[in-house]
Amino acid sequence: MQYIDLYGHYTWNLGGDEMTGRDEAKMLLKLAQQDHIIKAVAVPRLVCGKHSPEEIYDYSKKVEQVRLLSRKFSVKLYEGSELLLNRHLITAMEKHLFLPIQDTHILIVTMDRLDQYEDYEKELLLYLKAIINHSYKPLFKDIERLVYNTNDLSFIREIADMGCILGICAPSLLGYRGKQLKLNAEALLDAKLVHVIGSDASYPNADGMPCLNEAYAYLSKNYDYETTAILLNKNPQRVLNEEDMLMIHGRMPKQLERLSMKLDRLSKSFNIF
């Protein structure tokens, strides 16, 4: 399967990105190519209240440089940003101090330091409503961070009911960011409260490499092929097209899980996918 990565930090020296040079960006794009990623959104980290209009313009120009670079690796790159939400959001929206996903009104967001709020759930709902009121649709890229009780996902459902796109990060699902975030991601998948999975790649090393192919392997053992395709390819493409999200299926019964694993082994033997 080929993947569409909606949130990877493929730029350098922008908005807190870890990479500091062009060579590192080339290495990350090469790793994306090896990970079967054919399309990706470059998302420099932008913090509400910390950037001027001139900086946003410069960021857009730098993303264009990375887009040209990405062609050498057969990865089609789209402009975007990851907007870290805080109390300066309204000013950021009014002054357009962000980069939506290219040619869409979809804005990739996350929360800026959850520990600074007495009631972050109330604050986040206000932020999301403000974004929607400005005619943008939020894509919350790491919804697993907002789960504090896997038996009570009512807050996540409230976000979904607002029309937001729900994303999780592949490193969380695979356990690279700790046991709790992995459990949270699995609970969201089982509750069908995930629309897309992104790499959140940020650096060409063990902690920041693209890992969507590894996420595919995990999903194939637990969910049917259609769910895997929806999360890693179909819904990401629908985001780029600004179309409604498809809903995933639940976890497979054990007997179907074994059959899926067998089919996956056969498909690799015959190079079907």
Give the global pTM: 0.90
| Burial classification of residue 253, based on how many CB atoms lie within 10 Å of its CB (0-12 exposed, 13-18 middle, 19 or more buried) | exposed
Q: What does the block give as tokens for 215?
A: 């996420």
Average pLDDT over every residue of 6-34: 82
Domain that holds residue 189: 3-269
pLDDT (mean) for 1-6: 97
pLDDT attached to residue 11? 86
CA dist., res. 63 & res. 68, Å (int): 9
What does the pLDDT read at residue 21? 79
Rounded CA gap, 166 and 254, in Å?
27
Return the CATH number at 8: 3.20.20.140
- Provide the percentage of residues in the chain whose pLDDT is more than 70: 88
Cα dihedral 191→196→202→207 (10° resolution): 40
Arithmetic mean of pLDDT, 2-21 = 79
Q: What is the mean pLDDT of the chain?
A: 90
Residue 17 pLDDT level (bands cut at 50, 70, 90): low
Q: Is 165 left (phi over 0), alpha (psi -120 to 50) or beta?
A: beta
Q: Which pLDDT score, from 0 to 100, does residue 163 have?
A: 97
pLDDT of residue 15: 55
Stretch 120-129: mean pLDDT: 94
Confidence of residue 252 (pLDDT cuts 50, 70, 90): confident
Q: Give residue 102's pLDDT band: very low, low, confident or very high (50, 70, 90).
A: very high
Q: What is the pLDDT of residues 180-230, one digit of tens each?
A: 999 999 999 999 999 999 999 988 776 678 999 999 999 999 899 999 999
User: Would you state the pLDDT for residue 125?
Assistant: 96
Supply the Cα-derived Rg of the chain in whole angstroms.
18
Q: What's the mean pLDDT in 142-148?
A: 95
Confidence label for 273 from pLDDT (cuts 50, 70 and 90): very low
**Would you say residue 70 has pLDDT above 70?**
yes
Q: Which residues 6+ apart lie within 8 Å of 255 measured at CB?
A: none
Number of domains in the chain: 1
Q: What pLDDT shows up at residue 272?
A: 47
Res. 114: pLDDT tops 70: no
Beta bridge partners of 198: 169
